[in-house]
Structure 1
């Protein structure tokens, strides 16, 4: 789903060849991309399993294309901090700053809840919990990355002063 700045929601089909269907009225806008993973029973939604969010910029024709550059941006924190400890991070010439993970604003959550309540009421049992779980997980990951950078900088400064 695409959630616009004025909290209007557009349901979009799955992409074909990493290209999403164009929505002309959203041309050149930054939107909140919402992905809801849910289980089904008899081909009907039954329970939210996971949610994810991203802020994306649509092209002039209102289309979004997932490029290699976008993929690199999404993997930035993973590429810089996965399997990394402070000592190994301090060995880098320049310690990269972590990028904050995307979470929805309260007004965006309310718009999403209203949309799901109208279109898929059965998902409202689990959606608020899964969104809050996602936000908490993002907050914990952000704190871990910041602590890792602080510790690496402390190590680097100690080594530099010796």
Structure 2
């Protein structure tokens, strides 16, 4: 089986476990009202209903409202899929033929070194089985996000040359 867990990481490097959202609405955390946080989504395998192996991490920076509430809106979902929808399955030739000006891809959200270390420590203390491969999984995910971003930029460069 597999499972997932949401975490918020505040600017002062405190980790908050977030209950699973219902209808794309996250429970408010009053302590974080009005703050920007790193939202981390952990995907993992389970054994006997307990997390056993980390599979993937997703990152996003979100700003909580004045009550510490976050709701995943349609606009945010579209923003999250923007790069994939615009550049995922297109050739430079197809991109060059578009009538609209070419735009750059949205840069990936990546944790800072301090945020990564905080997450490693949190996993070690609170979900130890996930901490064993966390550094490898996190670094691989960050590398993949960077690589994909560079590929999209190169795609745009080729399309611009074809337009000239």
**What interval of TM-score do these two structures reach, taking the shorter chain for normalisation?**
over 0.9
Larger strand proportion of the pair: 2
Runs of 4+ in 1 over 3 A off after TM superposition: none
Deviations 1:36-62 (A, max 9, x none): 111111111110011110111111111
Out of 135, 160, 163, the residue aligned to residue 156 of structure 1 is 163
Task: After TM superposition, give the deviation of residue 150 of structure 1 in Å.
Answer: 0.5
Name the structure 1 match of 2:138. 131
- Equivalent pair of 1:80/1:96 in contact (CA under 8 Å): no
1:1-162 matches, cutoff 5 A: 1-92=7-98, 93-157=100-164
Which runs of 5 or more structure 1 residues have no equivalent in the other structure? Answer: 158-162
State the distance in 1 between where 2:45 and 2:149 align: 28
State the distance in 1 between where 2:123 and 2:88 align: 34
Partner SS for 1:89: helix
Q: Give the alignment's TM-score, normalised by structure 1.
A: 0.94
Which runs of 5 or more structure 2 residues have no equivalent in the other structure? Answer: 1-6
- Number of residue equivalences: 157
Root-mean-square deviation (CA, aligned residues, Å) is 0.8
Task: After TM superposition, give the deviation of residue 79 of structure 1 in Å.
Answer: 1.4
Partner SS for 2:141: helix
State the distance in 1 between where 2:12 and 2:108 align: 22
State the distance in 1 between where 2:145 and 2:95 align: 21
